């Protein structure tokens, strides 16, 4: 079993390049979503506290099993801590033996953004060039770079109630885009854009903008409403949009869809990718991907980094599984020799 720690993940991204890594990951995600019915799936297991939430996210096909431990504590940043940290495991289904333990704080940010890009591939206009991001926290730069990996994005409007967060975004990505506009409010930010990403952290029911504020043909990627009682958009906008989700049983509890019932869902993403349901059909309809994150996405990125690690001899071998000649004599490991 190998351990991929933060330096290992940094090495993988540095050697491949972030854009190419995104493209490989999006390809892997698309492949796995096409094989949706081969996976054993369940909603994530979540325990909600007054401080935040801690979740376990399992997923498996008949070859590999994965799970991720992840938290969500929005107020952590006030004390200098990350609001989301994660770690993951990949195992061999045939033996049950773990193959890899892996850093997943960085990888969760990357895979979350890659899913947004995959959704945009099918739901945004093909010539989309202008992006708006509402919420410039730790996830925001990852989102922008992932969308840029598949669409010709040139200009970004950003807004956050924390001006330092906007300045941070601008400093990190100013060299990667022709223009980044720091806006005074969310309404200004979404004016005349092709794609809107909502990534706010407040644990409440909010309405960042309404259907009257957006342009015809806009694609919305709603990702901030990712827990019970936490939403970013209003009912009228949802009802006027072509709504796509990852996994309906989970999104109806945690996403924007907690405000509606299942009859309003146009499709799950895998149905769009497999051609069972139509994607965008014209340049005027409003499409909305209500993305709360799903365990198959963690499976995809864990599988990808494991393959890359083996190809490049990365990762540290760790001794967490007993290696004994007689598997029925586990007690022998406690006998002094």
Query: DSSP string covering 174-191, please?
Result: TTTSSEEEE-SSHHHHTT
Tell me how far apart the alpha carbons of residues 269 and 289 are, in angstroms, rounded to a whole number: 8
Tell me how far apart the alpha carbons of residues 105 and 84 are, in angstroms, rounded to a whole number: 7
**How do beta strands 86-92 and 98-103 pair?**
antiparallel
- Please confirm, yes or no, whether 92 is among the known catalytic residues: no
Cα separations (Å) of 324 from 2, 96, 188, 209?
A: 19, 17, 65, 61
Q: Which of 299, 318, 293, 302 is nearest to 103 (CA)?
A: 302
Q: Which residues pair with 337 in a beta bridge?
A: none
Helix (H, G, I), strand (E, B) or coil at 307: helix
Tell me how far apart the alpha carbons of residues 71 and 19 are, in angstroms, rounded to a whole number: 27
Q: Which residue among 160, 226, 290, 298 is the active-site one? A: 226
Query: Could you give the residue numbers annotated as active site?
Result: 226
């Amino acid at each position: 079993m190998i351990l991929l720690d933060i330096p290992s993940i940094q090495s993988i991204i540095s050697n491949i390049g972030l854009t190419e890594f995104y493209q490989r990951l999006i390809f892997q995600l698309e492949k796995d979503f096409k094989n949706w019915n081969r996976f054993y799936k369940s909603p994530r297991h979540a325990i909600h506290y007054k401080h935040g939430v801690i979740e376990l996210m399992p997923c498996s096909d008949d070859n590999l099993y994965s799970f991720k431990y992840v938290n969500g504590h929005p107020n952590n940043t006030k004390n200098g801590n990350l609001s989301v940290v994660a770690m993951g495991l990949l195992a061999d289904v045939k033996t049950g033996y773990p193959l890899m333990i892996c850093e997943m704080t960085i990888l969760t940010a990357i895979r979350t953004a890659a899913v947004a890009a995959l959704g945009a591939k099918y739901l945004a206009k093909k010539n989309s060039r202008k992006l708006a991001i509402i919420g410039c926290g730790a996830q925001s730069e990852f989102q922008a770079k992932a969308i840029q990996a598949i669409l010709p994005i040139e200009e970004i409007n950003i807004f956050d109630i924390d001006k330092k967060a906007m300045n941070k975004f601008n400093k990190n990505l100013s060299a990667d885009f022709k223009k980044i506009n720091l806006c005074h409010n969310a309404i200004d930010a979404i004016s005349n854009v092709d794609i809107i990403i909502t990534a706010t952290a407040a644990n409440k029911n909010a309405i960042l903008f309404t259907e009257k504020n957006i342009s015809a043909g806009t694609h919305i990627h709603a990702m901030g409403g990712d827990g019970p009682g936490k939403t970013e958009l209003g009912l009228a906008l949802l009802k006027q949009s072509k709504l796509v989700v990852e996994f309906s049983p989970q999104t109806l509890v945690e996403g924007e869809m907690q405000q509606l019932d299942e009859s309003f869902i146009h499709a799950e993403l895998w149905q769009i990718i497999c051609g069972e349901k139509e994607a965008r059909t014209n340049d005027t309809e409003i499409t909305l991907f209500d993305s709360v994150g799903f365990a198959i996405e963690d499976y995809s990125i864990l599988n990808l980094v494991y393959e890359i690690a083996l190809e490049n001899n990365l990762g540290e071998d760790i001794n967490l599984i007993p290696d004994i000649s007689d598997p029925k004599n586990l007690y022998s490991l406690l006998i002094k020799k």
